[in-house]
Amino acid sequence: MFTYNCLNPISRTGLDLFNTNFKSVDDLTDADAVLVRSAKMHDLAIPEKLAAVGRAGAGVNNIPIWDYAEKGIVVFNTPGANANGVKELVFAGMLLASRDIIGGNNWCNANKEDPEIGKAMEAAKKEFAGTEIAGKKLGVIGLGAIGVLVANAATHMGMEVYGYDPYISVNAAWNLSRSVKHIDDLDDIYKECDFITVHVPLLDSTKEMINREAIEKMKKGVIILNYARDLLVDEKAVLDGIASGKVRHYVSDFPNPVTAGKEGVILTPHLGASTEEAEENCAVMAVKQIMDYMENGNIVNSVNYPTCEMGVCKTAGRIAIMHRNVKGVIAKYTSIIGDTGTNIADMFNKTRGDFAYAMLDLDSPVVPEIVEKLNKVEEVVRVRVVK
């Protein structure tokens, strides 16, 4: 029996997928696995037994993923599960910024008591005249699950789309429309595009990538959209750009004291993935990943350990070993297993950065002697008997 704890409300559509091998617990200290959305885990005291964290969403800034890797805790995310919800909000943001829909709505509310509002609006509406997005140039920075959807949809809206991602995956490349111009130099997007939308993870290398220097290269009247992470943008530089007329609007899903209520800024309260469909999709994916890992040892969509899929174990035993990515470790654990007279029927070993993951199917049940000796290997982080 495996136990799990939910740090945030998780869609029942996902939780109902847990089979009878899993039980929900209210106390984190009793959990083998955790499901989380936005709760911050950096300062949480976690139990030694915790083996997996399932993030029902893509970003993992709220989880200390490498600290957990040191403890042999696999962290999963759900890339693409909320992509359509974010894509749709990006287009809502573009339309709000280009057509002054908010200003028009505010005028209607302010004049709701006017019996002649129908006539008055004909004179007032010129104040809210905007521009269309068709024929404009859109720069998409980051061509992951969300960026590809945004880029492809924009071509159908009549936009000329520039896409930038030096690390684009094979899958994303296959899914990207031929109409999207793949750009090698980010400066080309800054110089050419009327709209710029950012869809990259928050890393040291991407923090405040939209900064004062980048804004100086942009076209006058550019609209910047941020539905990825607030720290990707130097927002004080953006406000200066708005004040100078360089930036027409800044649209963000991350309100804060710097941007809230400021002229030219359009904010939404982190609504990108807040749709019933997105929450359900994320929950379903996270639960399936947790179940497959706990029951079979398989890893899919981990952010701190490599992918490993060996299906359901057909042999007498299966053991999983998290270890440091250094020379000679494979020889050590295969020797330990061989010395017990146990035959390795199949095995997998793959690395990711400083860490590696091994899974071995054995022709005999896993005996305590194997686990005890493996745990004494200096480079081994954690040993799990899967079967």
Quote the CA–CA distance of 200 and 226 in Å, as a whole number.
10
Model pLDDT, residue 274: 87
Provide, rounded to the nearest whole percent, the portion of the chain with pLDDT above 70. Answer: 100
Quote the CA–CA distance of 222 and 227 in Å, as a whole number.
16
Q: Place 203 in a pLDDT band, splitting at 50, 70 and 90.
A: confident
Q: Are 28 and 47 in contact (CB under 8 A)?
A: yes
Model pLDDT, residue 354: 95
In this prediction the pTM is 0.80
Mean of pLDDT values over 352-380? 95
The DSSP annotation for 156-190 comes to HTT-EEEEE-TT--HHHHHHS-TTSEEES-HHHHH
Question: Which residue segments constitute the domains of the chain, with CATH numbers given?
Answer: 1-81+275-305 (3.40.50.720), 83-267 (3.40.50.720), 308-382 (3.30.70.260)
Element housing 25 (H / E): none
Quote the CA–CA distance of 145 and 148 in Å, as a whole number.
6
Quote the CA–CA distance of 189 and 139 in Å, as a whole number.
5
Backbone φ, ψ for residue 262 (5° rounding):
-85, 145
Residues 6+ apart with CB under 8 A from 67: none
Which candidate, 8, 74, 20, places its Cα nearest to that of 307? 74
Number of CB atoms found within 10 A of residue 216's CB:
11
Quote the CA–CA distance of 323 and 377 in Å, as a whole number.
9
Mean of pLDDT values over 54-77? 95
Residues 6+ apart with CB under 8 A from 253: 89, 226, 227, 267, 268, 269, 270, 271, 272
Position 96, amino acid: L
Mean of pLDDT values over 221-226? 98
DSSP-assigned beta bridge partners for residue 302: 76
Q: Does the CA dihedral 183-185-189-192 come out positive or negative?
A: negative
Does residue 111 have a pLDDT over 90?
yes
Q: Does the CA dihedral 100-102-105-110 come out positive or negative?
A: negative
pLDDT tens digits, one per residue of 287-327: 999 999 999 999 999 999 999 999 999 999 999 999 999 99
Q: Where are the beta strands (DSSP E) in 85-236?
A: 137-141, 160-164, 181-183, 195-198, 222-226
Number of CB atoms found within 10 A of residue 59's CB:
18
